[in-house]
Amino acid sequence: MNYDPKSSKAEEFINHEEILESLEYAKQNKYNKELIEVILDKANMAKGLTHREAALLLECEDEKLIQKMFKLAEDLKKRFYGNRIVMFAPLYLSNYCINGCVYCPYHLKNKDIARKKLTQEEIKKEVIALQDLGHKRLALEAGEDPINNPIEYILESIKTIYSIKHKNGAIRRVNVNIAATTVDNYQKLKEAGIGTYILFQETYNKVAYEKLHPTGPKHDYAYHTEAMDRAMEGGIDDVGLGVLYGLSTYKYELVGILMHAEHLEAKYGVGPHTISVPRLRPANDIDVSDFPEALSDDIFQKIVAIIRLAVPYTGMIVSTRESQKTREKVLHLGISQISGASSTSVGGYDDRAKGLKEEITSAQFDVDDDRTLDEIVNWLLEMDYIPSFCTACYREGRTGDRFMSLCKNGQIANCCQPNALMTLKEYLEDYASNNTKEIGENLILNEIKKIPKDKVREIVEDRLVKIADGERDFRF
């Protein structure tokens, strides 16, 4: 197999030999400070990095250079994303699954987990509970099971979710994380108005992949790895990549995910919309000590920073799999989206809203950050981040390369920043505690001054007054 980023074959665009050669190149050059400095200069110009350059940065152990990488990652993040952090929550529809993934409690042989699939009525209750927290953006999650969770079920659920308007609440963007599927099904998801299609590769190492997915449709490495190509063919141009860190060797994975990003860019002219960085967590029937590749916090931070340098315009997501402390560390290094108040149980939000103990036996994994959304918003505000509930881009048709060009042209300050402030204002009016409201209002006052265009600033000021008077859903 030859390496070819434009190929449609998994083993050519994620090429094993090319990954091994890149790792070898990194080892050979790890003490070449001059070369590393040249790479950092390139990153500073927001030119992105090749998978080889990123491999070298990952191999570098020089503390001064690592600190330089971190500083640069923070600078790039501020330059292109400002201080906004986009908020979302996962919504688990069904944990029925026919796959045998050895790290996931949904695996078919697990007789201990309570299997559950939400009815449309139950979805309504989950959505109302999520709206009452203040969420506007969801990531739908489901196991793979063509009988229990066929595409029709997912499509019907999306329709239900978008249809629910409770008080001032609304779910305005539904991202979808379901198993690899056909071009036809991706087309249907696109027509249903999804935001990003998210699919974690789990591992890019084919040998490890096949061992970790011994049975079920997910066993097919090529079908899984080529899913984003089919999604693009089906018209979805916002796709989200991810590796589940802890399953296999992280050096291989970083090179793999960047090759995947390069492939999408080379073939479709647009890289991934987001990259997630999940780490393996304890779960029902899953003992993390069975997985020797667990990632330390230090390496985790380095990976986040290097991804930020390599793909400066790509959103980066960290979930509640990580603790408050770890999230605090990586927010500075380039993360642009986080989940909050998440339940990984099927039906967990409604249970929680009713004061019931969550049905943890249906949960996918243990979360490490179980704060309320208000606590998370408050925490972000205290660190001078703008918690953003914005969903404007895809609703305004700014997907794929159109979003990227907005980002590249530096128009974020005149577009995303105002949208972030207006959606934060909605949150403060409708859901925040008194203290959060107070610090949030102060932050908005300071941030408005930073909007460069006078006209845009005037419009935002006017709309903020209207939001206080009860109007909703303004956007640029």
Rule CB under 6 A: say whether 208 interacts with ligand SAM: no
Which one of the spans 121-129, 195-203, 371-379, 425-433 is the region binding ligand SAM (CB under 6 A)? Answer: 195-203
**Toward ligand SAM, which CB reaches closer, 284 or 419?**
284
Exactly one of 3, 162, 200, 268 binds ligand SAM (CB under 6 A); that residue is: 200
Q: What residues numbered 231-260 form the site for ligand SAM, per CB under 6 A?
A: 244
The nearest distance, CB 141 to ligand SAM, in angstroms, is 4
Rule CB under 6 A: say whether 306 interacts with ligand SAM: no
Amino acid at 218: K
CA-to-CA distance for 373 and 249, rounded, in angstroms? 34
The nearest distance, CB 291 to ligand SAM, in angstroms, is 9
Exactly one of 60, 89, 178, 443 binds ligand SAM (CB under 6 A); that residue is: 178
Exactly one of 81, 88, 103, 394 binds ligand SAM (CB under 6 A); that residue is: 103
β-pairing, 274-276 vs 337-339, is unpaired
CA-to-CA distance for 263 and 51, rounded, in angstroms? 11
Rule CB under 6 A: say whether 73 interacts with ligand SAM: no
In 25-165, the DSSP E strands lie at: 84-94, 137-142
Are the CB atoms for 364 and 111 separated by under 8 Å?
no
Are the CB atoms for 239 and 231 separated by under 8 Å?
yes
Q: Decide: residue 287, CB within 10 A, 0-12 exposed, 13-18 middle, 19+ buried.
A: exposed
CA-to-CA distance for 117 and 18, rounded, in angstroms? 42
Exactly one of 117, 281, 352, 425 binds ligand SAM (CB under 6 A); that residue is: 281
Exactly one of 137, 218, 329, 398 binds ligand SAM (CB under 6 A); that residue is: 218
Which one of the spans 5-13, 118-126, 199-207, 432-440 is the region binding ligand SAM (CB under 6 A)? Answer: 199-207
Residue 301 sits at φ, ψ, to 5 deg, of: -65, -40
What secondary structure does DSSP assign to 394-411, as a single string?
A: HHTT--HHHHHHHHHTTT
Are the CB atoms for 133 and 167 separated by under 8 Å?
no
Q: Please identify which residue in the block is written with the tokens 């008077």.
A: 469
The nearest distance, CB 35 to ligand SAM, in angstroms, is 34
Amino acid at 197: Y
The nearest distance, CB 185 to ligand SAM, in angstroms, is 13
Exactly one of 59, 126, 141, 226 binds ligand SAM (CB under 6 A); that residue is: 141
Rule CB under 6 A: say whether 100 interacts with ligand SAM: no
**Toward ligand SAM, which CB reaches closer, 52 or 321?**
321
Q: Which residues of 103-115 are buried (b: 16+ CB within 10 A; e: fewer)?
A: bbbbbeebeebeb
Exactly one of 19, 76, 91, 280 binds ligand SAM (CB under 6 A); that residue is: 280
Rule CB under 6 A: say whether 365 interacts with ligand SAM: yes
Which one of the spans 137-145, 151-159, 267-275, 309-317 is the region binding ligand SAM (CB under 6 A)? Answer: 137-145
The nearest distance, CB 235 to ligand SAM, in angstroms, is 20
Rule CB under 6 A: say whether 185 interacts with ligand SAM: no
Rule CB under 6 A: say whether 59 interacts with ligand SAM: no
CA-to-CA distance for 404 and 313, rounded, in angstroms? 7
Sequence-distant (6+) residues with CB within 8 A of 370 are 320
Helix (H, G, I), strand (E, B) or coil at 90: strand
What secondary structure does DSSP assign to 35-61, as a single string?
A: HHHHHHHHHHTT----HHHHHHHHH--
Report the chain's C-alpha Rg in angstroms.
21
In this structure, what token pair is assigned to residue 219? 């066993």
CA-to-CA distance for 336 and 83, rounded, in angstroms? 9
Q: Please identify which residue in the block is written with the tokens 């930073």.
A: 450
- Count of residues of this chain found to bind ligand SAM when the rule CB under 6 A is applied: 21
Which one of the spans 19-27, 51-59, 189-197, 275-283 is the region binding ligand SAM (CB under 6 A)? Answer: 275-283
Are the CB atoms for 26 and 59 separated by under 8 Å?
yes
Which one of the spans 79-87, 140-148, 333-341, 373-381 is the region binding ligand SAM (CB under 6 A)? Answer: 140-148
Exactly one of 60, 161, 199, 257 binds ligand SAM (CB under 6 A); that residue is: 199
Exactly one of 77, 230, 321, 437 binds ligand SAM (CB under 6 A); that residue is: 321
Which one of the spans 66-74, 277-285, 292-300, 435-443 is the region binding ligand SAM (CB under 6 A)? Answer: 277-285
Rule CB under 6 A: say whether 379 interacts with ligand SAM: no
User: Footprint of ligand SAM on this chain (CB under 6 A)?
Assistant: 103-104, 141, 143-144, 177-179, 199-200, 202, 218, 244, 278, 280-281, 283, 286, 321, 364-365
